[in-house]
Structure 1
Amino acid sequence: MLIKEAIASSWSRRGTLAFIVLTIALSVALLIGVEKVREEVRASFDRSIAGTDLIVGARGGELQLLLYSVFHIGQATRNISWDSYQKIAANRYVEWAEPISLGDSHRGYRVVGAAPSFFEHIRIGRDTALGFSQGAPYKDLYDVVLGAEVAKVLGYQLGEQIVLSHGMGKKSFSDHKDKPFRIVGILAGTGTPVDRSLFVSNEAITAIHVGWEAGVPIAGMQQSAEEVRKLSLTPKDVTAVLVGVKSKLGTFHLQRQINSYRKEPLQAILPGAALQQLWELLRNVESALLIVSACVVVAGLIGMLAVLLTSLSARRRELAIFRAVGARPWHIVFMLVLESALVSLVGALLGLLAAVLGLYLLSPVLEDMGLYLESYYPSWEYLTLLLMIVAAGGLTGIWPGLQAYRLSAADGLSSR
């Protein structure tokens, strides 16, 4: 009977409660949306690199090495000699080693020098290989492969020619105009820094800098693209080396050998540990997002409390009739608590649907920002969160219930 009365009473005030339901729905949708995006941002960090056991670079900070080798942010303090790379690759613990060269760009996007085998060895996410949406890896010296975001934002297609620039920046005064590159491949979207990069061979990086010194071309030293093909283009140095080892035990032996290498100061870091360290620095941002979304939910519940308290004056006669026909005090309290829980439940379910629909509609915008959603649907863990919101909504009705209990039956039935 109390359930029927609670539903009937809520329905009679559906106009007023509709705004409360809408407020709770929006707050729940925001909470779930923010949580989902936060999870995907964390997953995007974890997806950035997989299957790589060590990252080798010049000795310095671990985070700095991770940022420029994986996220292509910043610059290395110094490079690694080609001789050191060959010794690392020949080590008995090493299964594969991929040298990368940084320093050039194209319209603000980073150019990465890497061998064609880079696309086979480097993996993302849960050990997923890099895939091509169009074309294939480069074979010619002046071939280039584009990340998904680069191709989409700049509107490039296979077969087009582009010019690389020296250094970073959307506008450069040092372009390699004499050696244009032909687009031969476009990578599938990954939601990682790979999407925002262009890839050429390490030999191509050497080729475009023939006749250059200290970042500028030397007059009279320039050679044409075809003349450069005849030269020895083996790099003198590389920026970093991504390494895969034969066994997990060998990872730590190799790391110790590289860190104690005497011919030049090198360091080898574990990508997973460095990623965790980087995420710890961003934990404050993560906590701030969670606090803001939780405050919105609390604001919605406070709004419902205010409406319930305000409506008590108009419902005094209704509540007094319940008291007059034998309703006990706890019946009144329970009915108001039940009304609050029902309103919270409807708002939470609508908020869940709004969150799923919103993530689906906003997914193209998020992809343009480099954030790929693996799923639009919240996990089962969110069910606990929704139940907590409904329970909190029900508890919100306790205070109005106690206030209603204090109203006397005679006062409620009087003409006042």
Structure 2
Amino acid sequence: MKALLRLAWLSAWNRRFTLSLTVFSIALSAFMLLGVERIRTDVRQGFTSAVSGTDLIVGARTGSVQLLLYSVFRVGAATNNIRWQSVQDMAQMRGVAWIIPLSLGDSHRGFPVLGTSADYFTHFRYGERRALELAQGQPFDDLFDAVLGADVARQLGYALGDRIVLAHGSGGVLNVVEHDDKPFVVSGILAPTGTPVDRTVHISLQAMQALHVDWMSGMRLPGQDIDADAVRQMDLQPRNITAALVGLQSRAQVFSVQRQVNNYRSEPLMAVLPGVAMDELWRVIGAGEKSLLLMSILVAFVSLLGMVAVVLAGLNERRRELAVLRAVGARPAHVVALLALEGALTTLVGMVLGTLTLLAALVLLSPWLLNQFGLVVSAWAFTPLQLWLLLGLLVTGLLASLIPGWRAYRLSLVDGLSPPV
């Protein structure tokens, strides 16, 4: 074995330029194979952890996926609202620890506006139960304070103290009517989370009510323009909200509280488990992740074919070398083993190089990926599938190297010790 390793090393060093291209090709395939799997895993993890630590999502009766979409991902609209009295009744139910009210419907330059309470910044969790952090400023203190998500501030170029005007409706139609008589001041900017929070403008529930005191049925009441100073003197307790996130004192009480909410008699309500709704939604939109994995496998397959082609093309130049080995007593099995060992070592070196390059890239680029794309990547977290992919790449490289070995086995001493003429 020592002799074979030495021969393989010397032979590889003699063809170092050609083999370096092969190693680079395999490293690139390992980089893409593991990188796509890492991103695929992190995208799904980021999707399923858009909200964590929340035991139930409550809204008007509708589909569980629709409730999840508009309450967590700010996509679509609610079929109906929840009365504020119902929220107060839920807070008194046995087992309920906290409630985060959510009021949606307005927008700012295409970004959704969320009216909520101070409990949002206290109890809301995402990812591995991570709390929201303010990169700048503080949560809303004044009635017309707004806290911006990281993407809102970055894309629109806002800073603390800037004045913004919210618009009525989702902002997806032309001629949007703005609440220009009640401007807001940016009081805080949240740190990036990689969740829909980054694309949300947060205001208080009282501010959401203040925006609509002179509105009815989606239209401004004629002759009822109430400016910002006058609205501060009014009772701004909300009349209804869009949905609510509910946290329980114990996870064991989740089905009991869910049953209480679903059986609430004052109005039809629906409580869903976030994890169950996430799984339902991912079954619909998660087909793309398999396409990414298939693409990386095809890249690895093409790279291994390239390795086979390079070794086969070099066999004609090595016929003299192989003939000398046969002449000094090397058996055909030795020749096959030599080429197979070269292929395995080439594959292994390429895999190690590609893996180390990926780790370095993820460590260096993870802050940029979070800020630019909202993608939270875990550089050091290897999944079982990644390890199986590495093992599969190594085994496939070894099997691919047997093709040139079989070809070398067919070469014989009839070629002579001189190159063919």
TM-score, reference length from structure 2: 0.94
Q: In structure 2, which of residues 228, 241, 244 is the aligned counterpart of residue 241 of structure 1?
A: 244
Q: Quote the residue 1:71 is aligned against.
A: 73
Q: Quote the residue 2:20 is aligned against.
A: 18
Q: CA-to-partner distance for each residue in 1:106-136, whole Å, 9 max, x for gaps? A: 1111110001121101111222221112222
Q: CA-to-partner distance for each residue in 1:186-232, whole Å, 9 max, x for gaps? A: 11221111111111111111111121223232221111111111222
Distance 1:13 1:224, change over 3 A: same
The whole-number CA distance in structure 1 between the counterparts of 2:22 and 2:206 is 64
Distance 1:389 1:277, change over 3 A: same
Distance 1:347 1:82, change over 3 A: same
The whole-number CA distance in structure 1 between the counterparts of 2:387 and 2:352 is 10
The structural deviation recorded for 1:172 is 5.3
Q: Quote the residue 1:358 is aligned against.
A: 361
The structural deviation recorded for 1:166 is 1.2
Listed as ranges, the matches of 1:258-277 within 5 Å are: 258-277=261-280
Q: CA-to-partner distance for each residue in 1:66-114, whole Å, 9 max, x for gaps? A: 1111111111111111121111112122111111100011111111000
Contact 1:316 1:412 in 2 (8 A): no
> Does 1:112 pair with 2:114?
yes
Aligned length: 415
Residue 72 of structure 1: SS of its match in structure 2?
coil
Q: Quote the residue 1:55 is aligned against.
A: 57
Q: In structure 1, which of residues 274, 283, 286 is the aligned counterpart of residue 286 of structure 2?
A: 283
Aligned AA (1:2): L
The whole-number CA distance in structure 2 between the counterparts of 1:35 and 1:245 is 35
Q: Quote the residue 2:131 is aligned against.
A: 129
Listed as ranges, the matches of 1:191-270 within 5 Å are: 191-270=194-273
Residue 397 of structure 1: SS of its match in structure 2?
helix
Residue 312 of structure 1: SS of its match in structure 2?
helix
Q: Quote the residue 1:396 is aligned against.
A: 400
319-328 or 249-258, which deviates more: 249-258
The structural deviation recorded for 1:328 is 1.1
The whole-number CA distance in structure 1 between the counterparts of 2:8 and 2:149 is 58
Kindly, what percent of the aligned residue pairs are identical? 50
The whole-number CA distance in structure 2 between the counterparts of 1:248 and 1:192 is 24
The whole-number CA distance in structure 2 between the counterparts of 1:114 and 1:378 is 35
The structural deviation recorded for 1:384 is 4.9
Q: Quote the residue 2:296 is aligned against.
A: 293
Distance 1:280 1:412, change over 3 A: farther
The whole-number CA distance in structure 2 between the counterparts of 1:244 and 1:179 is 33
The structural deviation recorded for 1:140 is 1.4
Contact 1:101 1:240 in 2 (8 A): yes
Contact 2:146 2:202 in 1 (8 A): yes
> Does 1:410 pair with 2:399?
no
322-331 or 227-236, which deviates more: 227-236
Distance 1:184 1:97, change over 3 A: same
CA RMSD of aligned residues (A): 1.8
Residue 104 of structure 2: SS of its match in structure 1?
strand
For structure 2, the 5+ residue unaligned runs are: none
Contact 2:108 2:167 in 1 (8 A): yes
Aligned AA (1:75): A
The structural deviation recorded for 1:311 is 1.6
The whole-number CA distance in structure 2 between the counterparts of 1:140 and 1:103 is 21
37-46 or 53-62, which deviates more: 37-46
Aligned AA (1:109): F
Distance 1:77 1:50, change over 3 A: same
Contact 2:324 2:417 in 1 (8 A): yes
Q: In structure 2, which of residues 330, 345, 363 is the aligned counterpart of residue 327 of structure 1?
A: 330
Distance 1:213 1:380, change over 3 A: closer
